[in-house]
Amino acid sequence: LAKTTQPISMDSYEGQEVNITCSHNNIATNDYITWYQQFPSQGPRFIIQGYKTKVTNEVASLFIPADRKSSTLSLPRVSLSDTAVYYCLVGPNRLRAGNMLTFGGGTRLMVKP
Amino acid sequence: EAGVAQSPRYKIIEKRQSVAFWCNPISGHATLYWYQQILGQGPKLLIQFQNNGVVDDSQLPKDRFSAERLKGVDSTLKIQPAKLEDSAVYLCASSLGERGTGELFFGEGSRLTVL
C-alpha cells in the first residue's frame, strides 16, 4: 500500500480556511484517497474520499492533481470544534479480504480563537 | 443505525494480568478490524476478519494477543499476559467490505492502562 506523508501539526484561527496536504508518491492506479478525522477519546471518523480532481461534501473539499501523487484536504472557515487529528489514507475503495488501511501519524490541527 | 459498540471503555490492570475487549460491529458489516493506538500515534492494525475468518494477523503479537470472531458478528480481543507497552486505546472498526466504499466505521475504543 502507498505510504503517505503529512505535516505533523498545523495551527489556524477561527474563520480561516485550512488546507492540509498529503503526499502519496507511490499511489496505485486503483487506489482512492480517504481522509479521517479523530477527536480525543473517539475513534477516527470518515470525512471525504476521492479518486481524482475535486470532491466536495458538506464538511470539506478534496483536491487531487492529475498525477495523483498528492492531495489536499480543505476545511472552509474552521471553528474551534475542528481541532482534531486528520489522517490521510490511500487504498482501494472496495475493501476486499486482505486490503489493509494503514494510518500514518496524521496532522494535528489546532484552531485558535 | 447503531454504530460500532465496544466495551469496556476503560480498563486498568497490572502487568502480567489478562484483559479482554469486546466489539459488536455494525449489522451487516462483513469486515472487522482491531487497531491499537498508542498515545500520540496513528492507529496500528492488529488483525482483520472477513466474516468469521482471519484475513491478516501479521501485526498481532501472537505470543500474548489473541482475537476471535465467532459466528462472524461479535469479536473479542484478549491480551495475556499484559505488558506495560500494551497501554493504548484498542479500536474496533467495521466495514461493508467489497460491497462498500472503503469507509471504516470506528467504535469509541477501549482504553487500557497497564501498571
- Whether residue A1 lies inside any domain: the answer is no
How confident is the model over A46-69, as pLDDT tens digits?
999 999 999 999 999 999 999 999
Q: What residue numbers bound the domain in which A89 lies?
A: 9-94+101-112
- Whether residue B94 lies inside any domain: the answer is yes
Contacts of residue A94 in chain B, CB cutoff 8 Å? Answer: 97-98, 100-102
- Whether residue B34 lies inside any domain: the answer is yes
- Whether residue B28 lies inside any domain: the answer is yes
Neighbouring CB atoms inside 10 A of B58's CB total 10
The domain total for chain A is 1
- Whether residue A106 lies inside any domain: the answer is yes
What is the distance between the alpha carbons of residues B11 and B87, in angstroms, rounded to a whole number?
10
Cα–Cα distance list, B102 to A73, A74, A102 (Å): 18, 21, 12
B4 contacts A67 by C-beta, under 8 angstroms: no
- Whether residue B62 lies inside any domain: the answer is yes
- Whether residue B82 lies inside any domain: the answer is yes
How confident is the model over A72-86, as pLDDT tens digits?
999 999 999 999 999
Contacts of residue A102 in chain B, CB cutoff 8 Å? Answer: 45
Task: Look up residue A79 and give its three cell numbers.
Answer: 471553528
Distance from chain centroid for Cα B91: 5
- Whether residue A2 lies inside any domain: the answer is no
Residue A96 pLDDT level (bands cut at 50, 70, 90):
low
- Whether residue B14 lies inside any domain: the answer is yes
DSSP letter for each residue of B15-67: TT--EEEEEE--TT--EEEEEEE-TTS--EEEEEEETTEEEE-TTS-TTTEEE
- Dihedral Cα B55, B41, B22, A42, nearest 10 deg: -120
Closest among B3, B74, B64, B63 to B34, alpha carbons compared: B74
- Whether residue A16 lies inside any domain: the answer is yes
Contacts of residue A32 in chain B, CB cutoff 8 Å? Answer: 102
The domain total for chain B is 1
SS3 B92: strand
CATH of the domain at A23: 2.60.40.10
Residue A3 pLDDT level (bands cut at 50, 70, 90):
confident
How confident is the model over A5-61, as pLDDT tens digits?
999 999 999 999 999 999 999 998 888 899 999 999 899 999 999 999 999 999 999
- Whether residue A4 lies inside any domain: the answer is no
Residue A99 pLDDT level (bands cut at 50, 70, 90):
low
- Whether residue A62 lies inside any domain: the answer is yes
Closest among B40, B27, B28 to B87, alpha carbons compared: B40
- Whether residue B15 lies inside any domain: the answer is yes
- Residue B52 pLDDT: 83
- Residue B64 pLDDT: 97
pLDDT tens, chain B, 115 aa long: 689 999 999 999 999 999 999 999 999 898 899 999 999 999 999 999 988 889 889 889 999 999 999 888 999 999 999 999 999 999 999 988 766 677 889 999 999 999 9
Tell me whether residues B48 and A100 touch, CB distance under 8 A.
yes
- Whether residue B111 lies inside any domain: the answer is no
Q: What residue numbers bound the domain in which B84 lies?
A: 5-101
Average pLDDT, chain A: 90
What is the distance between the alpha carbons of residues B100 and A100, in angstroms, rounded to a whole number?
14
- Whether residue A90 lies inside any domain: the answer is yes
Nearest CB to A46: which of B4, B35, B104? B104
